Amino acid sequence: MKKMLSALIFMGILCNPSQLFGQENTSFISDVVGVSEEQLSPGFWLKQTETGTTPIWSMDKINDVNRKNLSQITEMSQVFEIPPQLTRSELLAEIAFISRHLEQEPTFNDDTPVTQAFYDELDENLNREAIKELNPVAYALAVRRSNLRTFPNAVPIFRKGQNKDIDRHQESVVFPADAVAVLHESKDGQWVLVRVYNYLAWMREADLAYGDKETIEAYKSAADFLVITGAKVTTVFNPEVAAVSELQLEMGTRLPLEVPRENRHNLYGQNPYASYVVKLPVRDEDGKLVFRYASIARSKDVHRGYLTHNANNIITQAFKFLGERYGWGHRYNGRDCSGFVSEVYRSMGLLLPRNSKTQRNSTFGQNTRFTEETGMEERLEALANLDVGDLIYTPGHVMLYLGSVEGKPYIIHDTTGMRYFLENGEFYKGILNGVSVTPLLALQASPEKTYVETILTIKKIR
């Protein structure tokens, strides 16, 4: 321990406790080691990027990477290339893959143990007995943000004694206008098993509008489209069509631009000239897909087409989430570490796997892999050669490289907490639970191991 503390002191990354929490007369009070108030502005980091506007990957390159990821990564899929029918064994395998009982003493929110009877009910609702030898695949568009679940059930489940922010049955979300392949229906008819481009899970059936594959595929491939580039953007209030009124849209969402001729100067009682008019999916009373036009004010954070993949845009997009509450599996109307980096890159057209482990193990980009035997010197050398937007993976976590201060790397990441040593040798544990800027070298995984020592992969998206 003393040897490690000496090394940390040498690197100048231990924190003086007298300077930890700021001064009483300042509005900026922080226990985040090594981060000043100015470093919480994207402008601080943009000033460091001499080639910030230089494109990194072209759109052609991004499309090529997307094709390979969607076809080669098990967690991802070309939704429109799924066979029109799944066999009984194929569908049973899909259900078995996602709907697994939680081990390690699962509990309900009140800490009472999850009973076998509860899991028996969940298993019954999987509706395996309704599966035929051949099962047709249906297509739909999501009409609102909707949770993706391990089972066709919304009850949160936790591991005994662990963080109640982490619902172990929460997998991810789908966003409005996301295309899904519907594979199966629960016994109660309230849930469906779906594949989206980056996941397989259960979602509420009422959040989907069903249409034919050709119509949905054409909608998703429209040549003229708007991309949501803000963390969250809402459509203009609509007094006539509630389904598209003040609808929350998420970073990276792609929407066809279209102004109907008859509504060029009057859309729902408002002149749309100061807005973008997009086409949104709506579910009719029979669950069928219909499209309605909606306005997004030009003052909102949107972009016609995808953003250019460059360092400046990576920094700017990442900072739009700064301070957002951490949400495991996109809980709390937020996102987690892998969701955070995925949405940043989705605004540039790049589709990443849903989970950090799958991102880490995938081969796209330039990958530097480490093992437990990799020495600190080799790790620090790799960190010294980071570029803005590089992804740094530790077990269960991903961080995005921002730049350096006095030669030390800084990251932005969606994380639950932080640990580091104070100058007096005390081991400090703090909470973050949100998108945060932190130094990398100062962080500890445990009193015995630095964060740097736990790095498994550095992925350069270059």
Residue 345 and residue 436 share a domain: yes
Half-sphere CA count of 324, side-chain side, radius 13 A: 24
Amino acid at site 274: A
pLDDT at 15: 54
- Residue 354 included in any domain: yes
Residues 299 and 315 grouped into a single domain: no
Helix (H) or strand (E) holding 419: strand 408-421
Q: How far apart are CA 160 and CA 108, in angstroms?
A: 9
Find out whether 45 and 401 touch, Cβ atoms under 8 Å. no
Separation CA 34–CA 452 (nearest Å): 16
Mean pLDDT of 310-328: 98
Rounded mean pLDDT of 102-116?
Answer: 93
| pLDDT higher than threshold 90 for residue 51 | no
Q: Are the C-beta atoms of residues 134 and 169 closer than 8 Å to each other? A: no
What amino acid is encoded at 384 in this protein? Answer: A
Q: Is residue 134 part of a domain?
A: yes
Range of the domain at 313: 2-57+309-460
Residues 288, 336: Cα–Cα separation, whole Å = 32
pLDDT of 342: 98
What pLDDT, on the 0 to 100 scale, is given for residue 163?
A: 86
Q: Label residue 8 by pLDDT band (50, 70, 90).
A: very low
Please state, in angstroms and as integers, the Cα–Cα distance from residue 95 to each residue in 92, 152, 185, 192, 210, following that order: 5, 11, 11, 11, 21
Longest dimension (CA), the chain: 76
Q: Are 337 and 356 in contact (CB under 8 A)?
A: yes
Same domain, 406 and 330: yes
* pLDDT band at residue 50 using 50, 70 and 90 as cut-offs: confident
pLDDT grade for 1, boundaries at 50, 70 and 90: very low
How far from 249 is each of 139, 162, 235, CA to CA, in Å?
21, 32, 8
How confident is the model at residue 259, as a pLDDT? 87
- Residues 44, 177, single domain; the answer is no
Which pLDDT value is given to residue 25?
Answer: 52
Q: Are residues 206 and 82 in the same domain?
A: yes
Tell me whether residue 62 is in a domain: no
Q: In the chain, pLDDT over 90 holds for what percent of residues?
A: 91
pLDDT of res. 104: 84
Q: Tell me what the mean pLDDT of segment 251-276 comes to.
A: 95
Question: Which residue, 308, 304, 227, is CA-closest to 59?
Answer: 308
Task: Report pLDDT for 23.
Answer: 47
Burial annotation 112-135 (CB, 10 A radius, 16+ → b, else e)? eebeeebeeebeebbbbeebeeee
Give the model's pLDDT for residue 12: 46
pLDDT reading at 16 higher than 80: no
* One domain for residues 131 and 12: no
Closest CA to 202 of 249, 151, 159, 164: 151
What percent of the chain clears pLDDT 70, i.e. is strictly above it?
94
**Same domain? 16 vs 108:** no
CA–CA–CA angle 8, 14, 15 (5° rounding): 175
Whether residue 67 is contained in a domain is answered as: no
Segment 205-249, tens digit of pLDDT: 999 999 999 999 999 999 999 999 999 999 999 999 999 999 999
**Among the three residues 254, 289, 304, which one is the final residue of a domain in this structure?**
304
Q: Which of 180, 198, 220 is the last residue of a domain?
A: 220
What size, in residues, is the chain? 462
* One domain for residues 262 and 203: no
Overall domain count for the chain? 3
314 and 447 inside one domain: yes
Mean pLDDT of all residues in 264-268: 95
Query: Do 319 and 397 belong to one domain?
Result: yes
Residue 455 placed within a domain: yes
User: Residue type at 286?
Assistant: D
Q: pLDDT by residue (tens digit) across 113-166?
A: 999 999 999 999 999 999 999 999 999 999 999 999 999 999 999 999 888 999
User: What pLDDT, on the 0 to 100 scale, is given for residue 5?
Assistant: 45
The predicted structure's pLDDT at residue 89: 98
**Residues 171/237, Cβ–Cβ less than 8 Å:** no
CB-based contact 227:344 (threshold 8 Å): no
Helix count and strand count (H, E) for the chain: 10, 24
146-149/106-107 β-pairing? unpaired
pLDDT at 7: 47
Is pLDDT at 10 greater than 50 in this prediction? no
Residue 335 has φ and ψ, to the nearest 5°, of: -160, 170
Measured distance CA(416)–CA(312) in Å, rounded: 26
Residue 3 has pLDDT above 80, yes or no: no
pLDDT for res 14: 54
| Band of pLDDT at residue 4, cut at 50, 70 and 90 | very low
Q: Report the relative pairing of strands 457-460 and 366-369 from DSSP bridges.
A: antiparallel
- Is residue 65 situated within a structural domain? no
Whether 96 and 211 map to the same domain: the answer is yes
pLDDT tens, 176-202? 999 999 999 999 999 999 999 999 999
Residue that is last in its domain, among 175, 204, 220: 220
Question: Taking Cα atoms as reference points, which of 339, 3, 40 lies closest to residue 173?
Answer: 339
What is the CATH classification number for the domain harbouring 274?
Answer: 2.30.30
Instruction: State the pLDDT at residue 27.
Output: 81
CATH (domain of 14): 3.90.1720.10
Residue 90 within any structural domain of the chain: yes
Compute the average pLDDT of residues 409-416: 98
Pair (383, 440) in one structural domain = yes
Token representation of residue 174: 């789908």
pLDDT higher than 60, residue 21: no
Would residue 256 count as lying in a domain? yes
Taking alpha carbons only, the member of 42, 131, 104 closest to residue 316 is 42
